[in-house]
Amino acid sequence: MYQVIENENYNLYLIKTDKFKTAQITFRFTDLLNRDEATLRSILPHVLRSGTKTYPSKKAISMRLEGLYGSMITASTTKVGCASLVTFTFKIPAVEYIKEENFINDVVDLAYELLYEPYLEDGHFSNKLVKDEIQILKEELLSVEDEPRKKAYNEFNAIMFKNEKYGLVVSGYLDDLKNVNSCNLYDYYKRFLQTNKLDIIICASTPDLISKVIETKFTFKHSKKNISLIDKEIPYFKLKNEVVIKDVNQGILWMGYRSNIYRDSKNYYSMLLLNLLLGVYPHSLLFTNVREKNSLCYSISSRYDAYKGVLVINSGISFDKYEQVVNIIEEQIKVIEKGQIDQLLEMTKVAFKNNYLESLDNQSQMMSKAYTEIVLNEKITTDELFELIDNIKVSDLQECVKTLQLDTIYFLRGDYNAKN
């Protein structure tokens, strides 16, 4: 059961369920991706999570959470389409299990303080807290340089989506860290509160009780601008084929296809099944024919991002198998074009429905699905969804595969001469 409450400051999304022994309250700040602010935005939620006016350290916040019956807070920055989402999630015991009268008020007070009353020194963020978070992010970004798969993905992403917001790295940029300090991060924080759209999602057995307390306490006026999560920008492009030579032990292949099928397209679910059938499940074409039958790769999978309309394939391969693997991957696309997938499609439908039912037992996943349905105005029951899935035909996938256009092939390999 969903309910949407709109006011001039933010939107409240209430998801009522008795399925879980916990309640979750998510505060989601949304704005368009911005290269100049990406690093500041990546650091900010972790600084806010590190200290408030009353609880000036991570330890103090942790002790307060223990006092709230072991409640938890997570903070993150993610990307959806061309939008950047800064999310704070409070996981608390379900209200009916707590006899303390002021429990909800205490949780909301802590949430308010964490978001709007950070720990300050001399009118800006604490130098120590900011330096600590800069160092943590620096180590994370440097670790990517030592992880060929992550490094390869970032380079592939930069090539395929050059000059597009989608190509920006939401975790931030190493070169920008030297310019971040407690003063300019606090200045960004003040802009952040005014320019970001705020959605508050509550999943609980009594979400109305929590929402009433939030509406009383949360009065900051946030932006109400409409930010689409779906990025339909498709620039003119020609096939890009990039081979990069570095000191790696295993070749890493990325292939990126563009499509005009998005999360709000009528054939979205057909495209979703196409991707699952192509390279997600153990019975998928790529896993069966590239890895199992021909032993041409160590790993292979596909991923479809419906918020950008792109399908990407990733594989770990031997250096000398590059052309062979690219050719057999394209052959699997042609198998779908020819419609030789009747049995695979039925297997994929069964696997999808099983996974979907399992996801409803996960509170975070259920919240994400419900929020997406509300935002996209797509209220659909499980029975209706499964009927829709059952009615998808091979011909529907054939129509979807026609929209795929190969944009980028990226291959990271070692030096042949160095290996011989």
Least confident residue range of 20-24, 116-120, 291-295, 412-416? 412-416
What's the CATH number where 181 sits?
3.30.830.10
Residue 119 located in a structural domain = yes
Residue 234 located in a structural domain = no
Which pLDDT belongs to residue 416? 56
Domain membership of residue 356 as a residue range: 240-419
Which pLDDT belongs to residue 417? 56
Please give the average per-residue pLDDT across 204-228, as a whole number: 94
Name the domain boundary from 162, 185, 217: 217
The answer to whether the beta carbons of residues 303 and 275 sit under 8 Å apart is yes
| Statement to judge: residues 280 and 210 lie in one domain | no
CA trace torsion 342, 345, 350, 353 (10° rounding): -150
Please give the average per-residue pLDDT across 8-24, as a whole number: 95
Residue 232 located in a structural domain = no
| Statement to judge: residues 190 and 290 lie in one domain | no
Least confident residue range of 59-63, 86-90, 97-101, 396-400? 97-101
CA angle at residue 257 from 30 to 410, to 5 degrees?
A: 100
pLDDT-above-70 percentage for the chain = 99
In DSSP terms, which residues pair with 4 in a beta bridge?
13
The answer to whether residue 51 scores a pLDDT higher than 90 is yes
Please give the average per-residue pLDDT across 48-52, as a whole number: 98
Q: Mind spelling out the 3-state secondary structure of 136-175?
A: HHHHHHHHHHCCHHHHHHHHHHHHHCCCCHHHCCCCCCHH
Average pLDDT value for the chain: 94
Beta-carbon contacts of residue 50 (< 8 Å; ≥ 6 apart): 57, 58, 61, 119, 129, 132, 133
The answer to whether residue 1 scores a pLDDT higher than 80 is no
| Statement to judge: residues 268 and 203 lie in one domain | no
CA-closest candidate to residue 28, choices 279, 142, 197, 267 = 197
Question: What's the rounded Cα separation, in Å, for the pair 133 and 46?
Answer: 7
Which pLDDT belongs to residue 419? 47
Backbone angles phi, psi at 255, to 5 degrees: -130, 130
The answer to whether residue 415 scores a pLDDT higher than 80 is no
Please give the average per-residue pLDDT across 176-181, as a whole number: 97
| Statement to judge: residues 326 and 183 lie in one domain | no
Q: What's the pLDDT band for 36 if we cut at 50, 70, 90?
A: very high
The answer to whether residue 340 scores a pLDDT higher than 80 is yes
Please give the average per-residue pLDDT across 205-232, as a whole number: 93
Beta-carbon contacts of residue 335 (< 8 Å; ≥ 6 apart): 285, 341
| Statement to judge: residues 33 and 114 lie in one domain | yes
| Statement to judge: residues 99 and 135 lie in one domain | yes
| Statement to judge: residues 275 and 393 lie in one domain | yes
| Statement to judge: residues 203 and 307 lie in one domain | no
| Statement to judge: residues 205 and 249 lie in one domain | no
Residue 226 located in a structural domain = no
The answer to whether the beta carbons of residues 45 and 133 sit under 8 Å apart is no
| Statement to judge: residues 213 and 248 lie in one domain | no
| Statement to judge: residues 58 and 156 lie in one domain | yes
Residue 378: other Cβ atoms inside 10 A:
12
Residue 283 located in a structural domain = yes
Which pLDDT belongs to residue 399? 98
Residue 130 located in a structural domain = yes
Residue 235 located in a structural domain = no
Residue 19 located in a structural domain = yes
CA trace torsion 136, 138, 140, 141 (10° rounding): 160
| Statement to judge: residues 88 and 187 lie in one domain | yes
Per DSSP, 321 falls in state G
Question: What's the rounded Cα separation, in Å, for the pair 306 and 264?
Answer: 8
Single pTM value for the model:
0.93
pLDDT digits (tens, 9 = 90+) for 86-111: 999 999 999 998 988 899 999 999 99
Which pLDDT belongs to residue 2? 83
Q: What's the pLDDT band for 393 if we cut at 50, 70, 90?
A: very high
| Number of domains comprising the chain | 2
